[in-house]
């Protein structure tokens, strides 16, 4: 079984920074892509950033120039460095990964439990 665990959320002032980390573990054959999504109060879940296994990156327009997504040296880890945070960034941030399991014939999405990010004004 595969699981994703996020860490690094918290409360910061506007203009501050946070670094989120997500680690995938379990019976993993390969990880095709990892990313971050978020869901603010009363909002739908939205894409923040993704990175695939050859380094192709996508960002939501709202975070371009402020957030940076990267993979750890061990490719089961994905990092989201968040700078110049705004109150609008307040949300639960969820790690996502497209993973081919050892005993599964096709890749599927997995989700972490989420970590709260709160930005005060």
CA–CA distance, 55 with 6 (Å, rounded to integer): 21
Mind listing the pLDDT tens digit for each residue in 30-68? 999 999 999 999 999 999 999 998 999 999 999 999 999
Give the pLDDT confidence score for residue 105 in this predicted structure: 84
Give the pLDDT confidence score for residue 73 in this predicted structure: 87
Beta bridge partners of 94: 37
How confident is the prediction for the chain on average, in pLDDT? 96
In this structure, are residues 47 and 60 in contact, taking their beta carbons and an 8 Å threshold?
yes
13 pLDDT higher than 90: yes
Give the pLDDT confidence score for residue 75 in this predicted structure: 86
């Amino acid at each position: 079984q595969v699981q994703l665990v996020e860490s690094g959320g918290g409360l910061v002032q506007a203009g501050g920074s946070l670094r989120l980390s997500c680690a995938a573990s379990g019976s993993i054959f390969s990880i095709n892509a990892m990313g971050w999504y978020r869901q603010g109060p009363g909002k739908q879940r939205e894409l923040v950033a993704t990175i695939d296994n050859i380094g192709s990156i996508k960002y939501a327009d709202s975070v371009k120039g402020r957030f940076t997504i990267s993979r750890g040296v061990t490719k089961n880890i994905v990092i989201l460095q968040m700078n110049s945070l705004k109150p609008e960034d307040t949300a639960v941030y969820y790690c996502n990964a497209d993973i081919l399991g050892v005993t599964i014939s096709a890749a599927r999405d997995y989700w972490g439990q989420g970590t709260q990010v709160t930005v005060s004004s």
